[in-house]
């Protein structure tokens, strides 16, 4: 079985970006800038934000951290987003989700300038994805597509089953797999909590994408021999971080698979860097 090493691939991408950013800096007199807004003290979010900041620094992107008290008023948060929209040093804006209760995250996401929406959550960018138009693509599914490309695993003409229909992973991933191109062009089925015969659907897949949030949900008997398995899940258990797939059992069945940790997670961050450089290029075009 080929291990789809997201961590290593992400490091390679970061190195490639560092070279690109160096030359952009000499050309334009400044480095790309990413503003990261973290509201409150959610421990998982703090870890994600720290990792994003480190990745930015190592690739040469300047990160502007805005760590705000969880009791912030909606208006104050909106004012900050508007200020960052108008700030020329800021090419990308990332609002770390989830927000504390009482804050309207959808309203905040819709306030972010679509040209700075490096997370690809603004309805304008989601709509562009739907239509196959250029725009910012949400980082986790786009990172997965980049990983498949780097390992030369084309999905064109293959049957892909995505388990999970969230707005940040399942739905955009299904859309990306349906676009044109060798690494897309798949025949896609989206499964979710109400799917009848889920095991049967998954078993028919050449590519399985698990984005459920239940540890070891995808078991050996559900996966076809030779299938490629991409595990998006990050579940904190007594045994540490585990994915949505039973990795050890699937090793005998899958032809290629992402580990957890070290698979999709680092690719999500790599894609954020790619998107930030894309935003910088568009602002300086
Ligand atoms: P979500 O809770 O928004 O969505 C989960 C989806 O799973 C839902 O669409 C639901 O229909 C489906 N589901 C739930 N129970 C099911 C069942 N019994 N059978 C079939 N489908 C079922 O979650 P999300 O935000 O899409 O995240 C999914 C997982 O991916 C989580 O573990 C999350 O931590 C992880 N995640 C990882 C990254 C990363 O960078 N690696 C990024 C985002 C999310």
Q: Is 228 exposed, middle or buried (0-12, 13-18, 19+ CB in 10 A)?
A: buried
The count of other CB atoms within 10 Å of the CB of residue 218 is: 28
* Domains of the chain, each with CATH number or no CATH: 30-113 (3.40.50.10860), 139-265 (3.40.50.720)
Indicate whether residue 268 lines ligand 1 (CB < 6 A): yes
- 188 forms beta bridges with 160
Smallest CA-to-CA distance from 246 within 210, 278, 201 is with 210
Backbone dihedral region of 15: left (phi > 0), alpha (psi from -120 to 50 degrees) or beta?
A: alpha
Q: What pLDDT tens digit does each residue of the chain (285 aa) get?
A: 999 999 999 999 999 999 999 999 999 999 999 999 999 999 999 999 999 999 999 999 999 999 999 999 999 999 999 999 999 999 999 999 999 999 999 999 999 999 999 999 999 999 999 999 999 999 999 999 999 999 999 999 999 999 999 999 999 999 999 999 999 999 999 999 999 999 999 999 999 999 999 999 999 999 999 999 999 999 999 989 999 999 999 999 999 999 999 999 999 999 999 999 999 999 998
Given 119, 206, 231, 244, which residue is catalytic? 119
Catalytic annotation present for 119:
yes
Smallest CA-to-CA distance from 145 within 2, 17, 15, 271 is with 271
- Ligand 1 atom closest to Cα of 268? 40
Q: What is the ipTM of this complex?
A: 0.98
Q: Which of 43, 141, 192 is the pocket-test mutation for ligand 1 (most atoms within 8 Å of CB)? A: 192
Which residues have CB under 8 Å from 243's CB, separation 6+?
210, 215, 216, 231, 232, 233, 234, 235, 258, 259, 260, 263
End-to-end CA distance of the chain: 43
């Amino acid at each position: 079985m080929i291990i789809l090493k997201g961590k290593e691939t992400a490091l390679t991408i970061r190195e490639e970006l560092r070279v690109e950013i160096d030359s952009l800096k000499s050309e334009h007199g400044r480095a790309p800038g990413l503003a990261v807004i973290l509201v409150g003290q959610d421990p998982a979010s703090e870890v994600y934000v720290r990792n994003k900041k480190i990745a930015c620094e190592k690739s040469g992107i300047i990160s502007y951290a805005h760590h705000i008290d969880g009791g912030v008023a909606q208006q104050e948060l909106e004012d900050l987003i508007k200020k960052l929209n108008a700030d020329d040093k800021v090419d990308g804006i990332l609002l770390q989700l989830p927000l504390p209760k009482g804050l309207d995250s959808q309203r905040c996401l819709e306030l972010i300038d679509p040209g700075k929406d490096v997370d690809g959550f603004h309805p304008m960018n989601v709509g562009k994805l739907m239509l196959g138009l250029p725009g910012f693509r949400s980082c986790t599914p786009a990172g997965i597509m980049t990983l498949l490309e780097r390992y030369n695993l084309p999905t064109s003409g293959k049957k892909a089953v995505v388990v999970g229909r969230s707005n940040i992973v399942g739905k955009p991933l299904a859309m990306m797999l349906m676009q044109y191109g060798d690494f897309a062009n798949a025949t896609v089925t989206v499964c979710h909590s109400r799917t009848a015969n889920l095991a049967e659907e998954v078993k028919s897949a050449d590519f399985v994408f698990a984005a459920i949030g239940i540890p070891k949900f995808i078991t050996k008997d559900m996966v076809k021999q030779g299938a490629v398995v991409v595990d998006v899940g990050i579940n904190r258990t007594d045994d540490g971080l585990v994915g949505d797939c039973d990795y050890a059992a699937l090793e005998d069945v899958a032809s290629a698979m992402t580990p957890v940790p070290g698979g999709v997670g680092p690719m999500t961050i790599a894609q954020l860097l790619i998107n930030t450089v894309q935003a910088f290029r568009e602002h300086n075009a």
